[in-house]
Structures are given as C-alpha cells and as structure tokens.
Amino acid sequence: MDKHSKIYVAGHRGMVGSAVVRRLQTEGYRNIVTRTSRELDLRNQAAVNDFFAEERPEIVVLAAAKVGGILANSTYPAQFLYDNLIIAANVIHAAHENGVTKLLNLGSSCIYPRMAPQPLQETALLTGPLEETNRAYAVAKIAAIELCDHYRTQYGDDFISAMPTNLYGPGDNFDLQGSHVLPALMRKMVEAKERRAPQVEVWGSGRPMREFLYADDLADACLFLLRHVSVPGPINVGTGQDLSIRELAELIRDVVGYEGELVFDPSKPDGTPRKLLDVSRLAALGWTARTGLREGIEKTLAWYLQARREASAELRS
C-alpha cells in the first residue's frame, strides 16, 4: 500500500467501515472510494461489476454486511443468509475480475462451532455444528472465507479474511430490535436512568461469556493486515479476554451511572455459552488490541449521548 492507492471501503457508513475510513484518513490515505447502499446495492451483481469496472480500486475492505443480535438473527434468517452471501459473492468476484491487488474480507467469530474448544482457534472452523440462533449469518460468513481462499488457490489473488470478536463503538446500532448486547444494554440503562426506572431487564441468564473489541482497534488491525499479512483462512482479531454478560451489564450500569436493579430473564436465549478468540496468531505477527473495555464503553457512551442530542435537535428544528 502507498498513500495514493485507491481503496474501496464497502460499508463505510457502518460502525466498522466508518472506523476503517477514519483510520485510513489518519494515516494519510486520501484516495478512498465509498458508496452508500442507495448509490450501490451490493446485492445487485451487474451494478457491482459496473462499479468495479469504472472505479478500478486497488484495495478493497469488505465491511458491508447485514448484522444484528440474537433477536434479529432468529427472526430474519433468510435475509441474513441471502444478503450476506450475495454481497460477499458479488464483491469478491468483481474484485478478482477487475484486478484488485488486495482484499480484506471481514467476518465474525460466530463462524466457529458452538461447542468448539476455548479459546477459539482458527483451525476450529468447520469442525462442528454452529450456534442455531445465528447459523444463517455464520454460513454466509464461512462461504465468504471459502471464496477468498479458493480465489487465492485458483488464481493467486491476495484475498484475506479477518474474524473479529464482538464489536462495539461509535456508530453502533442502538435499535433494540436489531442491536447486539452491549449497545442494547447501554441504551436500556441510559433510558432507565432518565426515567428513574427501578430495574432493567437483561436477556438470558447472564452466564454466557463474551469478548468485546473496540471498533477503532479493529480498524487499526485492518490496516496492519492490509500492510503486512497474506495468508489463507480466517485470522482472529480480538482482545483475548472475556467476561460474563452479567459482568458486562454491571460494568455498563456503573459507567452509565444507573442505580437500579438488573433483572435477568432466563426464558430468553443465551446463545453460545462462551466465545473467546485465540488471538495468538495475530499477536505473533505483531498486532494487539490497545483499548480496555471500560475505556471503550466510556467512549461509546459519550458518542451515543452526543448522537441522541444531535438527533433531538434536528427533530426540534
């Protein structure tokens, strides 16, 4: 990569894509190409092919995806499978056809089997059944890894795949119908504090263990991978540390300053019991995460409160 390389960031308005754009700009990359979903529907193969033929990007970061928490994944599995599968197929194939020199495909730690040994190593891929609540999404992400690997094997394309752990940060989705656990809990507690509500409901038993990575740390890892790494198969990106959902909820309550009770509802699904990534491979290559969970939650809360204020001001104007 040099500072004049034309870089296409697919999904630049999302939490991950926007973090990648910020990181690239901080490093002095200015030839960044983006398109909104209205400008370019990545599910439309002809439109994707035309875009690549016209823009001829040299580097691609595939951060576009349909994402959501347990509720969204369980409610709309067909859309999660179809949208993510066809987005990956269209972008990866168009990148090959138009001579992209490097492509970074971003997936998810949900690709690994539900009961795989912890911490999850890259070699665990396709060794057992997936977690049922997000199987559709996981299958699409696994297919994207396979596409990158087979284009590498058959054509010599330098396509790589990074599998981040659970992500959070500025630009996250705080819609309670489609959000992941951390932003959902943050929004619930902010609103409960404002209403002086006596309690906040938390889905599940609180026992599952989860690892969380700040989005700007992932963006830093993406730049490192683009510059220094060219290997097949998934590469785990995380912190190597996890905590229970109960501990997460208590930490968010403390950062928000909410003083009410946390009520856990075991009738709601827990998902995978534990999902901790083995990040030793990436650490050996020279990259580790830098943002602690409390610091990241504080930054995310500040962003969320500011975004709410701005949205409220727009409604009043």
Binding residues for substrate: 188, 203, 210, 270
Residue 137 annotated as catalytic: yes
Q: Could you tell me the CA-to-CA distances from 98 to 7, 26, 29, 51 in Å, in that order?
A: 13, 28, 21, 10
Who contacts 210 (Cβ-Cβ below 8 Å, separation ≥6)?
Answer: 166, 181, 242, 243, 244, 245, 248, 274, 275
- The DSSP letter of residue 120 is B
Give the helix ranges, DSSP H, for the chain.
15-26, 45-55, 70-75, 77-97, 135-155, 181-195, 215-228, 245-256, 280-285, 293-316
Who contacts 27 (Cβ-Cβ below 8 Å, separation ≥6)?
Answer: 3, 223
Who contacts 146 (Cβ-Cβ below 8 Å, separation ≥6)?
Answer: none
Who contacts 68 (Cβ-Cβ below 8 Å, separation ≥6)?
Answer: 76, 80, 173, 178, 179, 180
Catalytic residue among 29, 137, 151, 304: 137
Annotated active-site positions, please? 137
